[in-house]
Amino acid sequence: MIVHFSALLILSLISGRMASAGAQLTFTAIPDQDEATLQQRADAVSVFLGDYIEAKCGVQVSVAYQPVSNYQDAVSALLDNVADFGWYGGLTGVQAGLRSPPATYLAQRVEDTEFTSVFIQGPGPQLTGIADVEGKTLAYGSESSTSGHLMPAYYLTEDGVTPASTIYTGSHDATVDAVINAEAEVGALNSVVWANRVASNTTGGTSVFYTTPEYVDYLWVSGAGIIDTWANIEGASIAEGCADVNALLTEAFLAATSDEPLGEALLTAYSTVGYVSIEPNEYDPIEETGCALGMIEEQYCSEPVPEDLGNVGAVAPAENTGAPVNSTDIPADNDADDADDADDASSSAETDTPPDGTVVSPAGDSTSGAHSNVSGILLALLSTVLMTLVA
């Protein structure tokens, strides 16, 4: 009955906010998974942050999801004021932050401080290390992917290894499938997606022959425009601790625990045990690698990194006494065969397009995005409630 109550509680909270969608913060996300998974994540963020802001600041604020069709649209969303903040991979997060100063790195998952990529091979003569990629056909995910391209390419370069050719599949799951179908001899993808494939027994005879060193990946980033958005929400800055919207959002993410339903839903949706703040300069290695590989514009590479990126010491993370959340804890409607974790959708309109056919709402039309988001939330959560009741 606790699970039934939690789902019904989320539905009730969303329904109660439908009539007050005027006060709004908008967020986006790189389209790194199938549409259903992206929407489930968005639902969890919308309800959790909306509830936290109302409890903390005494105002009802709609936290609306603005989908985009590719990675670079997500990067541009902050600069174009299509979104106030967003969920990014390491490379796209750095790109978004540099393009929309003064940006703030809000929070990252605990797991993002020690992220890795894996190189996989098909059946046949077994490879034993990264040097064996020499002369092989190599499949990457998205060209803008941190874990599916940037960092694997970096480690290949560091070791002086040159593949015979490379292809971009658009997603981590598609990279696995490309190796299974012999479209490439080896593939590079993030280790979380690989763990999902192993758990769902969909590796198709492929296996890991090299795991990269750890690096940072995935973060929430806000753009400069969020300051004006927050200032225009009547009464939002009055309550104690609510004047600084960036500090407020960081505090909210760090406060999420599995001890309460909305926090648990958020952590489960993002396959994490919790969020932590970001040290200043923690993502400098990502920027340096992106610049070295020509994946960040030269104008940013020649400038010093803004000193105000990061939020160390802003707030302490909440103690999470619940059980760890991992990829196998994602609810049943998240098909592991379809879910492409971090950084694996299209990098631009000229490269890949997401297989789920995500539709981009008109730029700046955040109100219509909010209304469609509410409808999507209701349908998705109603489905969850019904499945739960049947179970």
Beta bridge partners of 104: 222
Please tell me the predicted confidence (pLDDT) of residue 192: 86
CB atoms near residue 92 (< 10 Å): 30
Give the CA count within 13 Å in the CB-facing half-sphere of 196: 25
CA–CA separation, 374 and 108 (whole Å): 26
Q: Which two tokens stand for residue 365?
A: 């039309």
Please tell me the predicted confidence (pLDDT) of residue 310: 54
Least Cα distance to 171 among 31, 348, 354, 345 occurs for: 345
Please tell me the predicted confidence (pLDDT) of residue 19: 36
Please tell me the predicted confidence (pLDDT) of residue 140: 97
Q: Which two tokens stand for residue 30?
A: 């790189």
Backbone angles phi, psi at 25, to 5 degrees: -110, 140
All domains in the chain, ordered by first residue = 2-111+217-390 (3.40.190.10), 116-211 (3.40.190.10)
The pTM (predicted TM-score) of the whole model is 0.73
Determine the distance from the C-alpha atom of residue 13 to the mean position of all C-alpha atoms in its chain, rounded to a whole number: 24
Please tell me the predicted confidence (pLDDT) of residue 349: 32
CA–CA separation, 85 and 91 (whole Å): 16
Please tell me the predicted confidence (pLDDT) of residue 237: 83
Please tell me the predicted confidence (pLDDT) of residue 307: 60
Please tell me the predicted confidence (pLDDT) of residue 353: 32
Please tell me the predicted confidence (pLDDT) of residue 85: 98
Q: Which two tokens stand for residue 324?
A: 């760890």
Q: In a structure prediction context, what are the per-residue pLDDT tens digits for the chain, which is 391 residues long?
A: 333 344 444 444 444 444 344 699 999 999 887 788 899 999 999 999 999 999 999 999 999 999 998 889 999 999 999 999 999 999 999 999 998 888 999 999 999 999 999 999 999 889 999 999 999 999 999 899 999 999 999 999 999 999 999 999 988 889 999 999 999 999 999 998 899 899 999 999 999 999 999 999 999 999 999 999 999 998 888 899 999 999 999 999 999 999 999 999 999 999 899 999 998 889 999 999 999 989 998 888 877 656 655 554 344 455 554 433 333 233 333 333 333 333 433 333 333 333 332 222 323 333 334 333 434 444 444 444 333 333 3
Q: Which two tokens stand for residue 229?
A: 């958005």
- Residue reference for tokens 């199938």: 34
